[in-house]
Amino acid sequence: MPQYKAPLRDMRFLLNEVFDYAGHYAKLPNAEDTTPDMVEAIMEGCATFCEEVLAPLNLSGDQEGCTIDDGEVTTPKGFKEAYAEYVAGGWQGISHPKEYGGQELPMSLNLLKSEMMGTANWSFTMYPGLSLGCMNTIFQFGSDAQKKTYMPPLVSGEWTGTMCLTEPQCGTDLGQVKTKAEPQADGTYKITGTKIFISAGEHDLADNIIHIVLARLPDAPKGTRGISLFIVPKFLINANGTLGARNPVKAGALEHKMGIRASATCVMNFDEAVGYMIAEPNKGLEAMFTFMNTARIGTAVQGLAHAELSYQGALPYAKERRSMRALSGKKDADHVADALIWHADVRRMLLTQRAIAEGARGMIYHAAKLADLMVTAVGTGDQAQYEAYDDKLGFYTPILKGFITEMGLECANLGMQVFGGHGYIKEHGMEQIARDARISTLYEGTTGIQALDLLGRKVLLTTRGKCIKDFTNEMLAQAKPHLLDGGPIGKMARAAAKRALQWKALTLRIMLRAAKDRDTVSAACYDYLMYSGFVMMGHFWLKQALVAQAKLKQGGKDTAEFYQAKLQTAEFYFERLLPRADGHKQSMLSPTRALMQMDQEHFSFA
Ligand SMILES: Cc1cc2nc3c(=O)[nH]c(=O)nc-3n(C[C@H](O)[C@H](O)[C@H](O)COP(=O)(O)OP(=O)(O)OC[C@H]3O[C@@H](n4cnc5c(N)ncnc54)[C@H](O)[C@@H]3O)c2cc1C
């Protein structure tokens, strides 16, 4: 089983050497507590908790899974104690307002925390993770009284939260939501309906569970414009803040699923449960999507987490397991055969995992800075700034969520492949990573939906290509000073500049085609998303490589090996992974005819 070790050296490299987080925090209002010492203490404390408490429960949690008895869900052994430790450590509220008992540290620190927790044990991380969505919604749209009631116990972690959107007939197309909300004379609502696939819908970790529920008022318009948002607590809350009567919202069943088996995914039945409206009537979906970017970046972290964990599992195995001799001659002469790591094809797998994990970390840490700025704008009530940062983040979000989770899944599969047949056997924990990773491309918007969002909404509709122009200009500005450099840096800079120009030109071609053939967007969007992901990751790899090169030149007390390996991983990325963008380019530019010409009834002749 992989022994999770938080990759603190790489995290520090990005925070301190690449992205100057100390400078970033110094400029944020109210971030005077976020000193480099504080960041270091959080990283180290979180790493210890993840390595010593969460990681040991990952395999056992998967084996045991959750159980349900008459609507009461029991989490696997050790989860309750681990959650209590998480709450006692004050981890839940690190980025939430002091007014509600949080530490009010920047949002980016929460993402670092999620990376470590999620890599150690994604199933566990789902419980506090869903609470974040619930807290953000109440914080942004709740009345003062609602905030006062719900925020403190959610921020402390004493209570957890859920997001109840999906119903049997709809997950993506929430305009089809049927759950009903009937107004009552006392200003509350009776909520009736069934939600499925609700993460952390019921469990034994916390005293109360606060559901955020999408439902329809009796006179609501059809479709997405007729959906409202409600707070539905598991236990009603008395006027003095103590827990009151049990609300009729109950887990009807646990979903039996492929992975993240220790995360309780519930069918939730609302049977005239008492609900309190949050946000304006019929504007529920808008409110729900306010923090969508940050929630989706949270899911992008899952791609990074599984690439990292799978790499951590595969690497020691590749060094220990022996098979045949390397093609270039004996490497481990004292042994009967050479270690797997000497074979180029095994190195291809390991370096792909490493390049994706470290490249994804770079992309996410950059986006995390934007998230800090966006949250700051919300806090200061600066609507224009909020919209500007949200738009910027909105461009990164589908690429990060779609591309990183797809690649995380590929890396999880590669981890099994390095183990050969042993990767398929449960005891090594490698197949669990692949099973756990599979959901990441499905929830929080499938890859197809991220791709449509990127190409259809962000690129074509909202910005008419401006987001691509802006980002590719950043790419060119970074690459330009190095175009004539010799060695790997020059090669990488030229490749990045070429891709920037190509991305811009491609976007224009797709725009022109979409104007003539309406199926173009749906037909091209997946390849456009993956192309964008490979090229964007190239930009962030060049950024890391430039710093590593400069540090190597500088010399100094830091080990040269780290920077050397960074540069070599960057070179691998540019030579072996970035060229995959070509395949996506070719595919996306093909006419839609081959996709659309077949008659629906000719898809099968059974
Ligand atoms: C383990 C797990 C946990 C979950 N947790 C939660 C939770 O906590 N809360 C919650 O509310 N939900 C949750 N979900 C639900 C999840 O978000 C949905 O399953 C997901 O959004 C997809 O919706 P769907 O399953 O209805 O698929 P559908 O919407 O039916 O989509 C099916 C396929 O069609 C494609 N598709 C759909 N529409 C289009 C289109 N217009 N153009 C092109 N392609 C399209 C999709 O990309 C997908 O490939 C969870 C699901 C799982 C499995």
Ligand 1, atom 29, residue with closest C-alpha: 172
**Among residues 117, 144, 106, which one has the least CA distance to residue 29?**
106
Report CA(340)–ligand 1 centroid distance (Å). 39
Phi, psi of 604 (to 5 degrees): -150, 145
Phi, psi of 41 (to 5 degrees): -65, -40
pLDDT at 295: 84
Bridge partners of 276?
231
Cα–Cα distances (Å) from 351 to 160, 305, 329, 347, 530, in that order, read 39, 16, 21, 6, 19
Any long-range contacts for 93-100 (C-beta under 8 Å, 24+ apart)?
93/155, 93/156, 93/157, 94/42, 95/375, 96/135, 96/139, 96/151, 96/155, 97/139, 97/151, 97/155, 100/139, 100/147, 100/151, 100/152, 100/155
* Ligand 1: nearest atom to the Cα of 165: 11
* Ligand 1: nearest atom to the Cα of 263: 1
Which regions in the chain score pLDDT beneath 50?
none
The counts of H helices and E strands in the chain are: 21, 11
Bridge partners of 271?
192
List of residues 6+ apart from 179 with CB closer than 8 A: 167, 191, 192, 193, 194, 195, 213, 214, 215, 216, 270
Report CA(317)–ligand 1 centroid distance (Å). 36
List 444, 561, 575, 601, catalytic entry: 444
Ligand 1, atom 44, residue with closest C-alpha: 448
Q: How many angstroms separate the CA atoms of 126 and 262, rounded?
A: 9
99 is catalytic: no
Bridge partners of 193?
270
**Among residues 15, 6, 34, which one has the least CA distance to residue 376?**
34
DSSP H helical ranges for 244-291: 284-288
| Ligand 1, CB within 6 Å, residue ranges | 130, 163-166, 170-173, 197-199, 257, 265, 439, 442-443, 446, 448-449, 452, 522
